[in-house]
Amino acid sequence: MIIGIDLGTTNSLAAYYDGKKAHIIPNRLGEHLTPSVVSVDDDGTVLVGKTALARGLRHPLTAAAVFKRSMGTDREYNLCGKKFRAEELSSFVLRSLKEDAEAYLKCKVEEAVISVPAYFNDRQRKATKRAGELAGLKVERIVNEPTAAAVAHGLLDKRERSRYLIFDLGGGTFDVSILERTGLIIEVRSVAGDNFLGGENFTDIVEQLFCIRCGVDFSSLTGEERAQLRERAEACKKALSASNAAVLECKVGGTSKALRLTEKMYEEACEPLFERLMRPVERSLRDAGIRTSDISEIVLVGGATKAPVVRKLAARMFGRLPNVDVNPDEVVAIGAALQSAIKQRAEGIREVILTDVCPFTLGTEVVSNNGYFEESGHFMPIIERNTVIPVSRTQTFWTAGDNQTMVRVEVLQGESRMAKNNLLLGELRVPVPPRPRGEESIDVTYTYDVNSLLEIIVKVNSTGLTKKMIIRGEDSTLTEEQAQKRMEELSYLKISPREQEENKLTLYRADLAYEECTGDERRILGGYIDAFEGALARGKKEDVDRRREELNELLSSLGRE
């Protein structure tokens, strides 16, 4: 069985195709969204999702979130004395989704199509694939999030020809893609984005306003106070989606402080973020060579687009109301599931043809003459960004020095004019006969396919010597032996059992509420917690379920949901 997974910065979810349509797979709590949060319990048990989020509010140093932004880097997160890279934390989320899918579908899930931001570079895509492998999933296909959304939306569109701009603002990343659909052919025209812009940045704005208006020094807050402020800021941001004002109240140093935030105050503070959102939109239109009037529909994707301030901005930018018919939280997962069905050539959608583009320019370093002198370190594009893939391009280069015996071809990815500012993917060295400069040449061929696999072939034209390198989906910062060892280490970690999830979540929520309550409320709540823990100790399922339901009802009545 192959499923589609939207591995998000804030939330993740999975979907499957049943032969007729794609469906979201509910998690162990019966919900569609699993928070992309990982925590380690006192006994070393790994918690994922809502339970990890609840534990992190009381024990912030034991939880990690927003780690998608560190994919492909060497950053490590220290949780209870154990160190994890971003792809390893992501693997726990993927493993949880895999287990939920197997329990729901009642079959083994061995493969997944995983979505990534369109603007993820090669290293970030490799880290995502590695995360899938660490979770026990075969990952042959990585799909761009806006492309997945366009597939989900495009297959529902009955028009013969249409052009979409996908405005994808998630928890931590922003992508813009322009796609054209003709019949059952969906063609990506351009992509642009910002890997460090998302809903988390809007929550940052609310936090900053609270600190400024209430005279709070953020750097002096304890870890628990910061976690609580983050939770309240997120709730305040969501409340502004339903009202033109909201109150953020939080305890700092034992004193309760409150900020009444109006929609106007919030919008004014968000102006720098709006400017950052506009730049990728303008770039994608420019790269596609079209105007906003040429776009048939603006489709909003990602949970952050549910905010009225974002929808207002989109309407202002394009001079019309965007499409909000699709569920922005779920459309990428649905598209990934449809991509898995296309990969399997499933009945009903196997005729769909999807073309994607190379999101970044691929090239190499060259010596350039600026009219006065020759200067090394310049970037020479070979495959331009937004070129339809699969694609193969060949460029000829000549030796830069007399009696040169070796040519080094650096494989670079990026848009900077200078090579050092772009991402180095690898390099090839080929020997050449020593001759005067410019008399020996090599042909460099780059071939890039839909699975983000890049093949480089360098041919010395005078001797016929050819060298080849393939940059594929392994993590370039880990050797095969190190990767295998790490997979074994992670496999032995104890993951919280599915059947204990609801009980752990209820206890974490109750403990947090107990700390915040006083007087009779605290006394009553303490009694309910004791009764629930007693039922857990006795282990009788009917008694546990009854006590948990009673405790949850009390928490709801206290406004502690």
Catalytic residue IDs? 6, 68, 145, 168
- What is the sign of the dihedral through the CA atoms of 426, 430, 435 and 438? negative
Q: What CA–CA distances, in Å, run from 516 to 512, 513, 558?
A: 7, 5, 11
Supply φ then ψ for residue 471, to 5 degrees.
-100, 110
Token pair 């009553």 in the structure block, residue: 524
- For residue 267, the surrounding DSSP H or E stretch is helix 263-269
CB contact set of 242 (below 8 Å; sequence gap of 6+): none
Please check whether residue 221 is in contact with residue 59, taking contact to mean a CB–CB distance below 8 angstroms: no
Nearest Cα neighbor of 7 from 156, 250, 171, 161 is: 171
For 241, counting Cβ atoms within 10 Å of its Cβ (0-12 exposed, 13-18 middle, 19+ buried), the class is middle
Identity of residue 255: T
Cα 94 to Cα 37, 87, 100, 370, 497, distances in angstroms: 11, 10, 10, 50, 15
Per the listing, tokens 């670079």 go with 412
**CA 492 and chain centroid, separation:** 26
**Which residue spans within 145-184 are E strands per DSSP?**
161-169, 174-182
Q: How far apart are the C-alpha atoms of 140 and 490, rounded to whole Å?
A: 22
Q: Which two tokens stand for residue 398?
A: 């000549």
Yes or no: say if 294 and 163 are a contact pair by the CB < 8 Å rule.
yes
Before 381, cis peptide (omega within 30)? no
Region for residue 2 given its phi and psi (left: phi exceeds 0; alpha: psi -120 to 50; beta: otherwise) = beta
Listed residue (332, 329, 333, 352) closest to 342, CA to CA: 352
Q: What is the DSSP letter of 321?
A: P
All residues at 6 or more sequence positions from 531 whose CB lies less than 8 Å from its CB, including other chains? 547, 550, 551
Distance CA 410, CA 476 (A): 15
Q: Which helix (H) or strand (E) holds 12?
A: strand 11-17
Q: Are 260 and 239 in contact (CB under 8 A)?
A: no
Distance CA 218, CA 215 (A): 9
Q: State how far Cα 444 lies from the chain centre.
A: 33
Structure tokens, 280: 């990728």
Q: Which residues pair with 260 in a beta bridge?
A: 247
Q: What is the DSSP letter of 42?
A: T
